[in-house]
Amino acid sequence: MFVERCAAMKDVNQALLETFTAELPRLKRFLSARSGCAASGEDLAQEAWIQLSRYPGRAGSAPHLFLWRIARNLAIDFARRRSALFCERDAVPLSESIPDAAPTPEAAAIARSEIDAMKSAIAQLPKRRRDMFVAAAFEGESATQIAARYGLSKRTVEMEIRRAVDHCAEISFRAK
């Protein structure tokens, strides 16, 4: 039992490493842009790997989605820490350093544009792939549940979801 469990963990870790390696260039660009520094972006990417590998069970059937959630959270935490450092160093009261929660008109327009691009990208997917992607990404269904519903293998479902994610990322990247 122990040997089988170790072999399964090795497979999971290998899958996580492959996912991380495939996503690393986009991850670095994203984190560098969010942190404002390429070196900080690389540090955050390394931290994303540490967190991803620390909790392999949480990645579920879509480790790339879990990886991107980790990256987004790390970027937010980095921005908060940086903001707190500026507040302490500049002796500005924290209440004055918190920006207005309402988005600027420009930010709102950009967000609407990104949402429209994502909706368009999802609409362009073949129906089955779109349904699988929506079930996994927005409804929280596992690949195993989706595979059972469609009578497919888990691997096929994972490949379909991956293709959908790649398509949406490509459309999103072109929109920027």
Structural domain boundaries, residue 151:
101-176
**This prediction's pTM:** 0.43
Distance, in Å, from the CA atom of 94 to the CA atom of 26, rounded to the nearest integer, reads 33
**CA-CA distance, 15 to 7, in Å (whole number)?**
12
Residue that is last in its domain, among 99, 125, 157: 99
Residues 156 and 84 in one domain: no
If asked whether residues 63 and 110 sit together in one domain, one would say no
Quick one: 113 and 175 in the same domain?
yes
For residue 54, with 0-12 CB atoms within 10 Å meaning exposed, 13-18 middle and 19 or more buried, which class applies? exposed
pLDDT tops 90 at residue 147: yes
pLDDT tens profile 83-110: 766 545 555 555 555 666 777 888 888 8
24-76, pLDDT tens digit by residue?
A: 898 888 888 888 888 888 888 898 888 888 877 776 777 878 888 888 998 88
Residues 91 and 149 in one domain: no
Res 3 pLDDT > 70: no
